[in-house]
Amino acid sequence: MKAMMWRDLLLAYRRKGELLNPLFFFWIVVGLFPLSIAPDPELLRQMGAGVLWMSALLSTLLGLDLLFRSDFEDGALEQLLISPHSIFGWVLAKSLVHWLVTGLPLALISPLLGVMLQLPASQGVLIMSVLLLGTPILSLIGTVGAALTVGLKKGGLILPILVLPLYIPVLIFGSSIIVRQLQGLPVAQPFALLGAMLALTLFVSPLMASVALRISVSR
Amino acid sequence: MWESLKRLYHRLGSPKWFFQISGRWLPYVLVLATALIGIGLIWGLMFAPEERLQGNSYRIMYIHVPAAIIAQSGYLILAIAGVVSLVWRMKMADWVARAVAPIGASFCLLAFVTGAVWGKPTWGVWFVLDARIISVMVLFFLYLGVISLQTVIDNPRQAANASAVLAIVGVVNIPIIKYSVEWWNTVHQPASISLAGKLSIAPTMFMPLVISILGFYLLFVGLILMRTRNHILESEYKTRWVADWLSQEGRA
Amino acid sequence: MDIETLGMHFSSFGEFLAMGGHAPYVWSSYAFMLVIVLWNVISALGQGRKVKQQISKRLAMQSHANESAMEKSL
């Protein structure tokens, strides 16, 4: 499993263009938002948290339909499913790799983009930690969607419809943490809720994705 | 008790039994549904008194509430059928799920639109961003996901299983989404507003509501039966009993 | 008989249609309800008709195939 993770990370690293895609996409979407509103710092500051989170949601969707694609096409997935071992760990590793190449870089550059949205620089640490906590949930939920649509020609088209409604709680708690801190309100509760959701999805998502993969591959 | 439940369950798994029983019951269900809906809505529209605060606009309730109940229980049925389909591989459950999805989605849309319209005379805005109506909207999105998965996958068995997993994931998420939306609502609007919550409901308003809920629910059941029967025919057309039934139908 | 003795809330049909000034909201909601219910009934019936047509077509093709197979074997 470790070997598989290293291989996938290495593959992602070799295709540097794809590796940077979500990151650039994130930057572009965040960068376009002020243009669609107004260069009003006060307004941007109020919308900043929402803009960051919406852009993060869209960016994680970007590479999602490719998550299992190559393993499905070269038959590796089928072989894995035939073997008596549980694929829970394998699926979890896949989600982790997805997060390492999308969510993690997004979280790392988010303080800079926050400054562009007129959020105070002192909030940088908070913004980064919220995204570090929230984006793994997006990758984990997204894995279930990717598992359900692997092998479908139009899978990439319906994947956002399947996954986006399930992202709502992350969007709400994630952006409210940033907004509440800006207003000087306590943020412990939404932080705890986000953490609880991460713990839950860490267990449930790979389980559901394993079941979904078995269904998608059985043909 | 347990034995008879088990027998009922095994019978439900038999498409032939379900087809025959549902064919016998369907006319009664539909007639009763139409009668109850007619009584409930006419009572609600013409005879029920005016609401103290909202005036006559509250009469939207007589379709909004049944639609919302149907939308929610429709998704629950999807998830239950999903579990039955995945665990016991019962084909009946697949057909029921396929039948319920479009009906539930359409009533979800009805609940959403009537909820939005209701806001206009009551608070002066077409779309009140309150937790309840947002949850209805999200439920509609969840329905869309299941329906698109059902239609996009060609193999019926696989389509049923994949959408079953999605429905189960959705049902697990509904309480979390609901809680988060309510939390979002209370954080941003301390004076929370809700459509049905503040109504002062007199018994004379309540009775027609109960009748109309019953009527619409029966209609929902009737529609599920109709569509499930179609799916049974579609996939069991090679069996002897379907051929017999079709030839009888042709003679009648 | 006066309609008010029946316990009706409105004293005239015009008043009933007006819904105390809330007519557009109430009636548009009820109209949309009608659309949804009709769509449900019509689509379910149409689906049934289509399925039956499909079956008879398939069965016809099957019996045709059987006949030609029989002829060949003769």
Among A154, A176, A204, the residue with its CB nearest the CB of B184 is A176
Decide: A215 and A150 in contact? Cβ < 8 Å: no
Q: What's the Cα-to-Cα distance from A118 to each of A48, A106, B79, B250, rounded to whole Å?
A: 7, 18, 44, 73
Q: What is the pLDDT of residues A174-184, one digit of tens each?
A: 999 998 888 88
Is C25 close to B118, i.e. CB distance below 8 A?
yes
What number of CA atoms fall less than 13 Å from residue B245's CA on the CB side? 17
Q: Where are the domains of chain B?
A: 25-192+199-251
Q: Does B126 touch chain A (CB under 8 A)?
A: no
Decide: C8 and B47 in contact? Cβ < 8 Å: yes
Architecture of the domain delimited by B25-192+199-251: Up-down Bundle (1.20)
Among C20, C40, C52, the residue with its CB nearest the CB of B106 is C40
Tokens found for residue C53? 């047509």
The one-letter amino acid code at B249 reads E
Please tell me the predicted confidence (pLDDT) of residue B83: 95
Chain A environment of B141 (Cβ under 8 Å) = 161, 164-165
Please tell me the predicted confidence (pLDDT) of residue B150: 92
Q: Does B223 touch chain C (CB under 8 A)?
A: yes
Q: Does B57 touch chain C (CB under 8 A)?
A: yes
Phi, psi of A68 (to 5 degrees): -105, 0
Q: Do chains B and A touch (3 or more CB pairs under 8 A)?
A: yes
Question: Among residues B189, B190, B186, B168, which one has the least CA distance to residue B178?
Answer: B186
Count of domains forming chain C: 1
Please tell me the predicted confidence (pLDDT) of residue B46: 86
Of B119 and A144, the structure prediction assigns the larger pLDDT to A144
Alpha carbons B125 and B121: distance in angstroms, whole number: 8
The helix/strand/coil state of B51 is: strand
Tokens found for residue B163? 């959408």
Alpha carbons A85 and A87: distance in angstroms, whole number: 6
Is A158 close to B152, i.e. CB distance below 8 A?
yes
Please tell me the predicted confidence (pLDDT) of residue B252: 65
Q: What is the mean pLDDT of the segment spanning A134-155?
A: 91
Q: Does B192 touch chain A (CB under 8 A)?
A: no
Res A9 pLDDT > 80: no
pTM of the model: 0.89
**Can you name the residues that pair with B55 across neighbouring β-strands?**
B51
CB neighbours of C39 closer than 8 A, spacing ≥ 6?
Answer: B106
Among A144, A172, A212, the residue with its CB nearest the CB of B184 is A172
The helix/strand/coil state of B55 is: strand
Q: Do chains A and C touch (3 or more CB pairs under 8 A)?
A: no
Residue C39 lies in a domain: yes
Please tell me the predicted confidence (pLDDT) of residue A16: 64
Question: Among residues A59, A153, A149, which one has the least CA distance to residue A99?
Answer: A59
Decide: B96 and B224 in contact? Cβ < 8 Å: yes
Decide: B150 and B101 in contact? Cβ < 8 Å: yes
Mean residue pLDDT across chain A: 87
Q: Does B229 touch chain C (CB under 8 A)?
A: yes
Question: Among residues A74, A103, A205, which one has the least CA distance to residue A147?
Answer: A205
Q: What's the Cα-to-Cα distance from A130 to each of A13, A15, A55, A100, A176, rounded to whole Å?
A: 25, 28, 14, 16, 10
Please tell me the predicted confidence (pLDDT) of residue B89: 86
Among C9, C41, C54, the residue with its CB nearest the CB of B48 is C9
**Nearest C-alpha of chain C: how many angstroms from B237?**
6
Residue C54 lies in a domain: yes
Please tell me the predicted confidence (pLDDT) of residue B190: 44
**Nearest C-alpha of chain A: how many angstroms from B39?**
38
Please tell me the predicted confidence (pLDDT) of residue B22: 92
Residue pLDDT tens, chain B, 252 long: 778 888 877 777 788 888 989 999 999 999 999 999 999 999 988 888 877 777 788 889 999 999 999 999 999 999 999 999 999 888 899 999 999 999 999 999 999 999 889 888 877 777 777 788 888 999 999 999 999 999 998 888 899 999 999 999 999 889 998 888 888 877 665 444 455 555 556 777 888 999 999 999 999 999 999 999 999 998 888 888 888 888 887 776
Please tell me the predicted confidence (pLDDT) of residue A139: 95
Alpha carbons A15 and A25: distance in angstroms, whole number: 16
Full domain range(s) for residue C68: 7-73
Q: Which residues of chain C have pLDDT under 70?
A: 1-6, 73-74
Tokens found for residue A16? 């540097």
Given CA atoms A168, A174, A178, A183 in this order, what sign does their dihedral have? positive
> Cα Rg for chain B, rounded, in angstroms?
21
List, in sequence order, the alpha helices (H) in chain A. 2-14, 16-36, 41-62, 69-73, 76-82, 88-101, 103-116, 124-149, 155-163, 168-182, 188-217
Q: Could you tell me if residue A100 is left (phi over 0), alpha (psi between -120 and 50 degrees) or otherwise beta?
A: alpha
Please tell me the predicted confidence (pLDDT) of residue B1: 74
Q: What is the mean pLDDT of the segment spanning A65-75?
A: 85
Q: What is the mean pLDDT of the segment spanning A87-94?
A: 89
Among A152, A162, A172, the residue with its CB nearest the CB of B145 is A162
Please tell me the predicted confidence (pLDDT) of residue A122: 85
Res A5 pLDDT > 70: yes
Tokens found for residue C27? 């009636």
Please tell me the predicted confidence (pLDDT) of residue B192: 41
